[in-house]
């Protein structure tokens, strides 16, 4: 069976999300050992949202290659994908440290990573809003997917921040 390449930081053979397989990421996400958590999943949802929008922009650009605004939006989306992947790695590492130490400082570091990811969600929302009227109808479904994935990423990061704030107060 062919394995889909995926960006996940959690695999036994690798430390970086760029080198992982989707199957491994999902296995780690569903495991009890805490190598991957919902923050990492939210970051990957964010990367997928940006990828869906970038695809819609790329296809539209085939029909409108001179559209500078669309080209710039696609470039921003590709940057967002990379930033979300890095955020997944960062969140995972900080969450592992929190599980190991259960300290207020470790919780604070997780909150910082999740707030950064939430900022990325907000940036993506702005890009999607500007992109919407420029995208061809034939790829409108990709923007629907991007919004749904972005909404999921937002909800996950908001919940994780709340949980870590509560954990932090318990550690003080």
Q: What is the pLDDT of residue 107?
A: 92
Q: What is the pLDDT of residue 10?
A: 40
Q: What is the per-residue pLDDT across 67-82, written as a single tens digit (0 to 9) for each?
A: 999 999 999 999 999 9
Q: What is the pLDDT of residue 6?
A: 46
Q: What is the pLDDT of residue 149?
A: 98
User: All domains of the chain, ordered by start, with CATH?
Assistant: 17-171 (1.20.120.680)
Q: What is the pLDDT of residue 2?
A: 37
Q: What is the pLDDT of residue 20?
A: 61
Q: What is the pLDDT of residue 52?
A: 97
Query: Residues 6 or more apart from 29 whose CB is under 8 A from it?
Result: 10, 36, 37, 40, 41
Tell me how far apart the alpha carbons of residues 113 and 133 are, in angstroms, rounded to a whole number: 32
Q: Which two tokens stand for residue 170?
A: 């318990």
Distances (CA, A) of 107 to 91, 111, 116: 11, 6, 14
Q: What is the pLDDT of residue 172?
A: 63
Tally of residues, the chain: 172
Dihedral sign for Cα 25, 43, 40, 91, please: positive
Q: Which residues of the chain have pLDDT under 50?
A: 1-15
């Amino acid at each position: 069976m062919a394995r889909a390449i995926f960006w996940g930081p959690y695999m036994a053979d690798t430390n970086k999300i760029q080198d992982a397989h989707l199957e491994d990421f999902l296995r780690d996400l569903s495991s009890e050992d805490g190598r991957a958590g919902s923050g990492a999943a939210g970051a990957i949802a964010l990367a997928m949202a940006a990828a869906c929008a970038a695809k819609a922009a790329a296809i539209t650009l085939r029909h409108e290659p001179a559209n500078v605004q669309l080209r710039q939006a696609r470039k921003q989306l590709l940057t967002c994908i990379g930033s979300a992947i890095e955020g997944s790695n960062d969140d995972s590492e900080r969450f592992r440290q929190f599980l190991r130490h259960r300290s207020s400082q470790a919780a604070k570091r997780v909150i910082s990573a999740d707030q950064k990811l939430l900022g990325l969600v907000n940036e993506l929302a702005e890009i999607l809003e500007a992109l919407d009227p420029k995208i061809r109808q034939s790829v409108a479904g990709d923007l629907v997917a991007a919004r749904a994935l972005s909404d999921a990423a937002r909800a996950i990061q908001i919940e994780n921040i709340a949980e870590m704030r509560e954990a932090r107060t318990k550690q003080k």
